[in-house]
Structure 1
Amino acid sequence: MGAALAGALALAATGGSLTVGSKQFGESLVLGELAVELARDVGVPAEHRAALGGTRVVWEALVRGDVDLYPEYTGTVARELLGGAVPAGDPAALGAALAARGVGMTRSLGFEDTYALGMRRARAAELGISRVSDLARSPRLRLGFTNEFMDRGDGWPALRARYRLPQRDVRGLEHEVAYTALAAGEIDVTDLYSTDPEIRRHDLVVLEDDLHAFPPYDAVYLYRLDLERRAPAALEAIRRLEGRIDAAAMIALNARAELDGVAPARVASEFLRATLGVAAAPEEEGRTARVLRRTREHVALVAVALLAAIALAVPLGVVAARRPGVGRVVLAAVGVVQTVPSLALLVMMIPLLGIGARPAVAALFLYGLLPIVRNTHAGLTGIPLELRESAAALGLPPGARLRLVELPLATPAILAGVKTSAVIAVGTATLGALVGAGGYGQPILTGVRLASVPLILEGAIPAALLALAAQALFDLAERWLVPRGLRRARAAGAIR
């Protein structure tokens, strides 16, 4: 009670609160929930921006101030974030380098979660492989690594160079998918986290890093230094975890979350109650309330992006139809945007817009332009010449012809483009969860990580229903906006 009162007084004095981030894997989620519960225990409001993607996404969010704190590992800090300029085994040097960037680092939480390579026990025994250097004798081995490990400075490129590995059949996979592929014999080797419970579940052999390619990966929290002023009680409470979680405890927590399907918030509260005596009470939310909240988030993302796309794309389509030279440039430009992978576009938006709804809306807006621009252009250029000449013969100026004749005739095509854009937005918006935008993507991504079909369906089914609802809505809009005679003429043309 006294700690909570002290936290509340500190909060009132500084206006502080805490936003915790986490990466897209189970252990990071659990560590994020531990920080959230400890902050709330001392009266500091805290929220968890869960599963924000890879290391760079969460780091950029921390530096920008979109999150205040997130769990990280010293090897990642040294190799990936600081470019190898500071040794991972020197906490003082790491702290000084981070402080220059406005970031602080706690002491180790008590365990190391290092990278490792693993194989099925039978396959390793068959080939006589027990060390990473042994892989060089089997150039035809099929390797499947997590996508981030494929490109990290302390990942596959460094490992391949250190051990001079000859393998070329290397695939990028999601972590959970890699374990499934390994168990099915689709791949021979994958990267592991040393505290991953899947190692025991699949009876994997962890290959010895005999040339010490991987640095130490002690678990820590990184935080913005201004948190010491804004929410000192929360930071002090979180520091209680320093040295309190050993590797066996972390493996057990990961197993509860990833194998038993227990919510990370409940896993964290159970640990805090048993270890620190903290009577943490995770905020429980029923499935119906959760789906309704995700629906509001998803609809908001789609609606804002779609309205913005319509406002820009229809005028662009008009310009493209009236000025053929400009039209070719406009159609080419929006076509190029459509070819950019959605995940890449989301990540590129983060330095400009941070995390949350803004980068997701911006990406959806850009993806929504092409169908509307193209259909507006096609609808206007497809108007029969005799109708254009009739409108001109009546003496209508260009603006009036566009408003009274051409746009009404092109409305069916324009609405078809808007409908296509809406359906694309509903599907693509699920990726917004990777940058903290919420929506139906959150249960889908969590379900993929935890191999939980119910969680995946909790996001996938409402997303499909929303896409169908969007189609039905625009069918009704067409009945309202398109004159009956024009609808009949179009139907008759379709029959003929």
Structure 2
Amino acid sequence: MQLLRRTGLAALAFIFLLGTALGAAAQEQPLRAGSKRFTESYILAEVLAQTAAPHTAVAPVVRQGLGNTAIVYEALRSGGIDVYAEYTGTIALEILKGQASMTREAMNAALRPLGLGVAVPLGFNDGYALAMRAADAERLGIRTLSDLAGRRELRFGLSNEFIGRADGWQGLAARYGFTHAPTGLDHGLAYEAIAAKQIDVIDIYTTDAKIDHLGLRVLEDDRHYFPRYDAVLLYRLDLPARLPAAWAALQQLEGRIDEHAMIAMNARAELQGVAFDVIARDFLAAAQPGAGAAPRSGEGARGFMAKLFGPDLGRLARQHLMLVAISVGVAILIAVPVGVAVFGHLRLRALVLGLTGLLQTIPSLALLAVLISLLGAIGTLPALIALTLYSLLPIMRNTVTGLAEVPTGLRDAGTALGMTSGQNLRAVLLPLAMPTLLAGVRTATTIAIGTATIAAFIGAGGFGERIVTGLALNDRELLVAGAVPAAALALLSEALFEALEHFMRRRRAARAP
């Protein structure tokens, strides 16, 4: 019991130090710009950050690819970010559950009690629409959504967010009488799927660069279902008072980005592979008073090796290692004492192992979404909690299994020598159970390395950041540039655990005589 108390105190101290470190980091107050997980949002987040950067003492933080509207809005509401580019139709229908005709004044009145506001219309409309291959549309005589409704043989591949949105598929299907069963796809992958003729109809944003590039026809919304989606800034009301100079700079973006400029920026990212920060820098340089045509930085499309060994490699590696090390460390401090405590109680052991096993069945993104809602925060903290929960089962299960494998005679020998239960645990049971327990830690570490890539969806960083961006851009090289380091880290952890187990075997063999 004394061992359990000590371990429990160590766990509490560790968690306290972690919370203190996170709290200290939170005291720094840079501008935090967020983005959703599609090309345009990535670019606009960089535009916001670079616009504010000359007017802030601390460099702005860009939290890219946080996920769909619900996650990014929750990040803003909870204070995880200060501002991001949103669209009026989304705010009215998806966030406020209002009417498409809602004015900006009405939006601000509804958002004010939440500490949020809408301002700075950027100057372009990026609406939802459905599109199909132009050759097929011409052959079938389809020009409007009403024409499309009667074509049940066509295969719909729609983004998962569009399928679930209040202003998305369900309302559109009701307005036009669609009876199709759409397949859910990532927005970036849908373009590749329609080009490969795996699907026939996709949802698009009207400023997407690949519409013309792939020869798609945007179908007319003849029953006027979709509202306008004018790009604006959705921000926390404390931002102007906290960073007045940065906010004044952001206000200068009003009306500065038209649809042609946005399509051109999207094209540079999606068709030429130019980095988001480079695109934003070139746009802002061209937008300066007296500037001529938009300059083009020397950086263009990057090859695979440049993406793999890019300047972000060290930062992503540190973030990934931190997520894995802390989560597995906390899981050890929790799972080992609990495993020891329930080992001698069969029913309690079955209950505890069953509950930890149940955690493994919860999809990673669903668990992260629940934690964001409960904690009111995005980023490192919910990611660490999720990874810790996923690491509990293998460590706890192997702790119990290792203790159960100790022969009864050896347990009784310790008692016969006059050892207390605590002494018997420390001197006999745990040393003999250590190889099995270590195997559980090894499994948990491998699981954590793989699962940590999902943490990038909520702004926790790591190698998943490249994977998320690669999905948004449909960039296979960037996807692989994120997957390869994660796989290398998993192989490295396997090698370290193998070396540790080899050392332990040699040590036991040396003691055997």
- Asked whether the two chains share a fold, i.e. TM above 0.5, the reply is yes
Change beyond 3 A, Cα 1:81–1:486: farther
Aligned partners of 1:366, 1:264: CA distance in 2, in Å?
34
Aligned partners of 2:416, 2:290: CA distance in 1, in Å?
82
Structure 1 segment 424-435 matched on structure 2, within 5 A: 424-435=447-458
Aligned partners of 1:388, 1:71: CA distance in 2, in Å?
64
Q: Which moved more, 1:287-296 or 1:361-370?
A: 287-296
Aligned to 2:392: 369
Aligned partners of 1:356, 1:239: CA distance in 2, in Å?
27
* Secondary structure at the counterpart of residue 100 of structure 1: helix
Change beyond 3 A, Cα 1:16–1:357: closer
**How far apart are 1:325 and its partner, in Å?**
0.7
CA displacement 1:307-352 (0-9 Å, x = unmatched): 0001111122223321111001011100100000011111111123
**How far apart are 1:204 and its partner, in Å?**
0.5
Aligned to 1:171: 183
Aligned to 1:61: 75
* Secondary structure at the counterpart of residue 52 of structure 1: coil
* Secondary structure at the counterpart of residue 322 of structure 1: coil
- Is 1:259 aligned to 2:282, yes or no? no
Aligned partners of 2:310, 2:448: CA distance in 1, in Å?
23
* Secondary structure at the counterpart of residue 109 of structure 1: coil
CA displacement 1:119-143 (0-9 Å, x = unmatched): 1112223332221122321223221
Aligned to 1:493: none
Q: Which moved more, 1:158-167 or 1:185-194?
A: 158-167
Change beyond 3 A, Cα 1:309–1:437: same
5+ residue gaps, structure 2, are 1-27, 300-305
Aligned to 1:242: 254
Aligned partners of 1:16, 1:325: CA distance in 2, in Å?
50
Aligned to 2:193: 181
Aligned partners of 1:97, 1:215: CA distance in 2, in Å?
19
How many pairs are equivalent? Answer: 473
* Secondary structure at the counterpart of residue 196 of structure 1: coil
Aligned partners of 2:173, 2:488: CA distance in 1, in Å?
46
Partner of residue 451 from structure 1, selected from 461, 474, 491: 474
Partner of residue 386 from structure 1, selected from 396, 404, 409: 409
CA displacement 1:436-468 (0-9 Å, x = unmatched): 111111122212222333322332111111111
Aligned partners of 1:215, 1:418: CA distance in 2, in Å?
52
Aligned partners of 1:44 and 1:234 also within 8 Å: no
* Secondary structure at the counterpart of residue 220 of structure 1: strand
* Secondary structure at the counterpart of residue 178 of structure 2: coil
**How far apart are 1:87 and its partner, in Å?**
3.7
- Is 1:422 aligned to 2:445, yes or no? yes
**How far apart are 1:414 and its partner, in Å?**
0.6
Aligned partners of 2:289, 2:101: CA distance in 1, in Å?
32
* Secondary structure at the counterpart of residue 333 of structure 1: helix
Q: Which moved more, 1:344-353 or 1:380-389?
A: 380-389
Structure 1 runs, 4 residues or longer, greater than 6 Å off: 278-282, 486-489
* Secondary structure at the counterpart of residue 349 of structure 1: helix
* Secondary structure at the counterpart of residue 343 of structure 2: helix
Aligned partners of 1:389, 1:244: CA distance in 2, in Å?
80
Aligned partners of 1:133 and 1:210 also within 8 Å: yes
Aligned to 1:395: 418
Aligned partners of 2:399 and 2:437 also within 8 Å: yes
Structure 1 segment 175-214 matched on structure 2, within 5 A: 175-214=187-226
Aligned partners of 1:144 and 1:187 also within 8 Å: yes
Aligned partners of 1:372 and 1:417 also within 8 Å: yes
Aligned partners of 1:63, 1:431: CA distance in 2, in Å?
22
Query: Counterpart amino acid of 1:240?
Result: Q
Aligned partners of 2:357 and 2:393 also within 8 Å: yes
* Secondary structure at the counterpart of residue 119 of structure 1: strand
Aligned partners of 2:511, 2:67: CA distance in 1, in Å?
50
**How far apart are 1:288 and its partner, in Å?**
5.2
**How far apart are 1:431 and its partner, in Å?**
1.1
Aligned partners of 1:32, 1:364: CA distance in 2, in Å?
28
Aligned partners of 2:186 and 2:471 also within 8 Å: no
Aligned to 2:345: 323
Q: Which moved more, 1:190-199 or 1:350-359?
A: 350-359
Change beyond 3 A, Cα 1:28–1:487: farther
Aligned to 2:369: 347
Question: What RMSD, in angstroms, separates the aligned Cα atoms of the two structures?
Answer: 2.4
Aligned partners of 1:79 and 1:88 also within 8 Å: no
Partner of residue 500 from structure 2, selected from 477, 480, 494: 477
Aligned to 2:328: 306
Change beyond 3 A, Cα 1:487–1:376: farther
Query: Counterpart amino acid of 2:119?
Result: T
Aligned to 1:9: none
Change beyond 3 A, Cα 1:216–1:34: same
Q: Which moved more, 1:269-278 or 1:26-35?
A: 269-278
- Is 1:290 aligned to 2:332, yes or no? no
Q: TM-score, normalised by structure 1?
A: 0.90
Aligned partners of 1:154, 1:453: CA distance in 2, in Å?
31
Aligned partners of 2:282 and 2:296 also within 8 Å: no
Aligned partners of 1:320 and 1:331 also within 8 Å: no
Aligned partners of 1:406, 1:450: CA distance in 2, in Å?
53
Query: Counterpart amino acid of 1:37?
Result: Q
**How far apart are 1:51 and its partner, in Å?**
1.0
Query: Counterpart amino acid of 2:388?
Result: F
**How far apart are 1:361 and its partner, in Å?**
0.6
CA displacement 1:239-276 (0-9 Å, x = unmatched): 11211211111100110112111111111111111123
* Secondary structure at the counterpart of residue 222 of structure 1: strand
CA displacement 1:207-226 (0-9 Å, x = unmatched): 11111221110000111111
Aligned partners of 2:47 and 2:281 also within 8 Å: yes
CA displacement 1:155-213 (0-9 Å, x = unmatched): 11111122221112x21111111111111111111100000001011111111111122
Aligned partners of 2:251, 2:176: CA distance in 1, in Å?
38
Aligned partners of 1:485, 1:52: CA distance in 2, in Å?
49
Aligned partners of 1:156, 1:295: CA distance in 2, in Å?
39
**How far apart are 1:376 and its partner, in Å?**
1.1
Aligned to 2:24: none
Aligned to 1:3: none
Aligned partners of 2:510, 2:87: CA distance in 1, in Å?
62
Aligned to 2:124: 111
Aligned partners of 1:296, 1:369: CA distance in 2, in Å?
23
Query: Counterpart amino acid of 1:227?
Result: L
5+ residue gaps, structure 1, are 1-14, 490-496
